[in-house]
Structure 1
Amino acid sequence: MSNPCRALLVAGAAVALALTAMPALATDIPPPDTVVTSPNVTHVLNIPKPAPIAATINTDIAFQGDYAYVGNYGGFSIYDIRNPKRAKPVSSVVCPGSQMDVTVYGDLLFAAVDSSRNNDSCASVGQSASIKESWEGVRIFDVSDKANPKYIKSVETNCGSHTLTLVPGKGRDRHKNVYVYVSSYLPAANFPDCLPPHDKISIIKVPLRDPAAAAVAATPVIFPDGGNETQPGLLIPTSGCHDITAYAEKDIAAGACMGDGVLFDISDRLNPRVTARTTDPNFAFWHSATFSNDARKVIFTDELGGGGAATCNEATGPNRGADAIYDISRGQFTFKSYFKIPRFQADSENCVAHNGSLIPVKGRDIMVQAWYMGGLSIWDFTDSAHPREIGYFERGPRADGSGGGIWSAYYYNGYIYGADFHEGLDVIKITDPLTNSAKGVRTDRLNVQTQESYNRH
């Protein structure tokens, strides 16, 4: 779960039409632990979590070259995916601290830590944030040797790092520095390093030739007059951002900021400027954002229930715990529609909109997205007002009655990879006329919160 309260740790067009035309029925819920897919989706492989971190849950994924990097509350693992049908773990680093949201750049891996620790080491234990000496923030690893990653630097940030977003430098600076936008929230008067008001982000400047010199270079305030704090039904009032997606080549970013959706101008990397802002009465917690490839649309997700509730049911309905699709015109948001998976989940299944990525299909807007116990959904939002699901993968309720599911689902070089809380890493493939052209698009790196256009590949 994405832990917004920190207490929640724990066949082409025909197929598409069939998926959207059939009403959702509770009787369609799969048997416990059973894998089910749409006809155009294949479950290629499941890789259980490596033993060193098998007891803790999987979270986010980053990709570079022939490797996938999977975050976990207990650390992270590196997988060799040069042959996705035979993908295998290479190493695991035990370094506890939720959430371990990960991103990679060159030989560097950055990991977000949003649980207060007694120190910054990988041997640390949890300790109250009310103690001044407690640490939380960003850990930096050298992953040049995939079998033996090395921890090289920590950077403490106010209120920790719930998520992080890597932003390359501009012009001549691009080869000298990268910047890490750190999202954090939930300040308290008794937290010395996380005092209210906290309507800001932290920006870490990382010199590429000397990453051990990384340090916080700016803490811009996003909401100088306060964020959305009074809307009925908010999970938590705005006190920062949950996640930011940067589209660096276009000098823009989208912030999912608890009670607010925000558009930034990031042409000055250390001074992001808010250019548009919106709220939604159906949204409880603005969780993440995804731009269309042309940046004329943005998808915001609502993590209703904080990731721990069963919200993919008839009682909750189609407009809450869903995605909201906005067109961007003249720098402003225009709401177009909601999208939510059309398959009911059992009351024991935590299910809500979560992390996903574009599938690089030229001329269409298609993405794959995780829905926790709702599995993953592949959906088309080319028509902003009429999105539709075109494929899916999911498991039935867990036989033991516990929650879990897929935290992140991303498309990378022909395959979909899903990080499941308990089941490990799933490799999935979609074969469909709407998405088949994506097979010809290749990239050397994918950090989903650092979007890059695929026209140039």
Structure 2
Amino acid sequence: MLRKLRWLVLAFGVLGVIGPGTASADHRFDEHSENMQALGESLRSGSFTDPIGWDTRNTDLAFWGDRVIQGRYDGFRIIDIAGVRAPSWGGVGNPKEVAFFPCVSPQGDVGVWGDLVFRSVDSGTRTDQCQPFLDQQTPGFEGIQIFDISDVNNIQQIASVPLDCGSHTHTVVPDLENNRVLLYNSNSGSSNIAPSAYGNRCTADHGRFDIVEVPLDNPSAAHVIGAGMLGTALDGRVIRACHDIGVILGDVNRAACAGNPLTVVFDISDPANPVRLFDLTSPTVTSFHASTFTWDGKYLVLGWEPGGGPRPRCQETGAVDEGVVVTDEMKTIFFHDATTGELVGRWVLPRPQSAFENCTIHNFNVLPIRGRYVLVHGSYQSGTSMVDFTDPTNAYEVAFSDPAPLEPGVLSRGGVWTSTFYNGLIYESDTRRGLRIYRVRAREAAGALRLPHLNPATSEFSLP
């Protein structure tokens, strides 16, 4: 059984209202397991509306060397993590924000390749540049923006690719034999929207994920080159869109569209021409949210987002939220055989959350370890945890950090958007606060490979 502690103090600084900072007093009383150590923070606060009238939440993470790209609804941050070390490694050093690029267009999920940052836009904006978004009834630019960050003091937008139904998230798929990066676009939307001035439109039966080619010798010429067709399920249901797409390359070459209403698995031996293999579902799931593979390609890990994210769906099983009875499945990660689609195991969040904490299992990634299956997930106000599913029928929690409700007595939105394991540490993107970093002392995490970079939805190689 995990021992629970509360951090007595982690006072590196004070949380600012809008600008960057270091640590916040909110962090010092977070409940956590004894083996999970907080190392440092780089904060830039986020809000759903206040104080500037539009959404400023922190979102996804991507990593290149000693830098983290943190997405936001109003732009992105570049954070230097070279100085972050645990005390036993020579002292604690906070990550440092080296750039914040404002770009008001949601939801701002990011990917990175060298000096290129890719950014998703899923609400109509006035132009394809960084302008405030329009009301949802007005057709505007939606798609992927591309930025050159070679000079962090002079970041330049170099391309924008309009995409039907917008870009909710995207997956970076390197194809270096052809000197290019492909972006698998997940739109997630299903509204009927007339064509905009940029050509993007949307229909309810979209039924595909578009593929964007980014030529590395001329990234400003990025354009759509094809699509993965989602098809129709055996029971006749139309698979409308992907929310996220997990990819593994190497000797496996598979992609999994976490779709609405099913997950679809593709062979991507030719990454520009995905071949549909099969679709699958998990018990009670109505629309999938996230997918990833183990590094050997044996298992497919799936999650969903009951209540859409703002609702407290991780309460004690049997609790009622707006007339909906909370079930184990609402706070579950599912493990499927990646070849057959068969459900082989599951893990249920063991710490019920209160009625004042929005919570679903939101995003996760698998550690690059030979011989074990371990993941890290970030799940709104339930915080961050590490799970061992080497035996998928008997998965267990290795470590966790679980903050108190943001506003006790009031249901409020916030918490951890995503948590990612990268080169020995866990990086947590908190919607309201910014970036937090942890170390876990556990045998389960031993032997994890160091990577030169990481886009969390993509495993660029496979392990035997």
- Any idea what SS the aligned residue of 1:301 has? strand
Find the partner of 1:36 among 27, 31, 35: 31
What's the TM-score, normalizing by structure 1?
A: 0.85
| Cα offset, 1:44, TM superposition | 1.3
Match of 1:201 in 2: 209
Match of 2:427 in 1: 417
Q: Is residue 341–residue 377 contact of structure 1 (8 Å, CA) maintained in 2?
A: no
Match of 1:9 in 2: none
Is 2:184 the counterpart of 1:181?
yes
Q: CA RMSD in A?
A: 2.4
- Cα separation, 2, equivalents of 1:367 and 1:289: 12
- Cα separation, 2, equivalents of 1:121 and 1:227: 42
Is 2:63 the counterpart of 1:63?
yes
Is 2:52 the counterpart of 1:49?
no
- Cα separation, 2, equivalents of 1:187 and 1:433: 44
- Cα separation, 2, equivalents of 1:153 and 1:52: 28
Using a 3 Å threshold, how does the CA distance of structure 1 residues 213 and 446 change in structure 2: closer, same or farther? same
Deviation per CA, 1:334-356: give whole Å up to 9, x if none. 10122121001111101111111
Deviation per CA, 1:68-116: give whole Å up to 9, x if none. 0000001100000001232110010100111111110111110111111
- Cα separation, 2, equivalents of 1:381 and 1:294: 14
Match of 2:305 in 1: 303
| Cα offset, 1:123, TM superposition | 2.4
**Greater mean deviation of Cα atoms: 258-267 or 365-374:** 258-267
Q: Is residue 356–residue 410 contact of structure 1 (8 Å, CA) maintained in 2?
A: yes
- Any idea what SS the aligned residue of 2:387 has? strand
Gaps in structure 1 of 5+ consecutive residues:
1-13, 20-31, 231-236
Match of 1:162 in 2: 168
Q: Is residue 243–residue 289 contact of structure 2 (8 Å, CA) maintained in 1?
A: yes
Q: Is residue 348–residue 397 contact of structure 1 (8 Å, CA) maintained in 2?
A: yes
Match of 2:87 in 1: none
Q: Is residue 228–residue 259 contact of structure 1 (8 Å, CA) maintained in 2?
A: no
Q: Is residue 46–residue 431 contact of structure 2 (8 Å, CA) maintained in 1?
A: no
Match of 2:401 in 1: 393
- Cα separation, 1, equivalents of 2:357 and 2:63: 29
Find the partner of 1:431 among 427, 436, 441: 441
- Any idea what SS the aligned residue of 2:241 has? coil
Deviation per CA, 1:179-206: give whole Å up to 9, x if none. 1110113333443310232001111111
Is 2:295 the counterpart of 1:293?
yes
- Cα separation, 2, equivalents of 1:429 and 1:376: 12
- Cα separation, 2, equivalents of 1:185 and 1:435: 33
- Cα separation, 1, equivalents of 2:394 and 2:46: 44
Match of 1:273 in 2: 275
Match of 2:155 in 1: 149
- Cα separation, 1, equivalents of 2:66 and 2:73: 23
What's the TM-score, normalizing by structure 2?
A: 0.84
Q: Percent identity?
A: 32
Deviation per CA, 1:320-347: give whole Å up to 9, x if none. 242111123xx31110122121001111
Matched positions, count: 414
Structure 2 matches for 1:122-137, cutoff 5 A?
122-128=130-136, 130-131=138-139, 134-137=140-143
Letter in 1 for 2:244: D
- Cα separation, 2, equivalents of 1:73 and 1:323: 26
- Cα separation, 2, equivalents of 1:105 and 1:76: 15
Find the partner of 1:369 among 359, 377, 392: 377
Q: Is residue 318–residue 339 contact of structure 1 (8 Å, CA) maintained in 2?
A: no
Deviation per CA, 1:223-246: give whole Å up to 9, x if none. 1x369886xxxxxx8411111011
Using a 3 Å threshold, how does the CA distance of structure 1 residues 190 and 125 change in structure 2: closer, same or farther? closer
- Cα separation, 2, equivalents of 1:190 and 1:139: 20
Deviation per CA, 1:139-163: give whole Å up to 9, x if none. 0001112333211110000000011
| Cα offset, 1:284, TM superposition | 2.8
- Any idea what SS the aligned residue of 2:220 has? helix
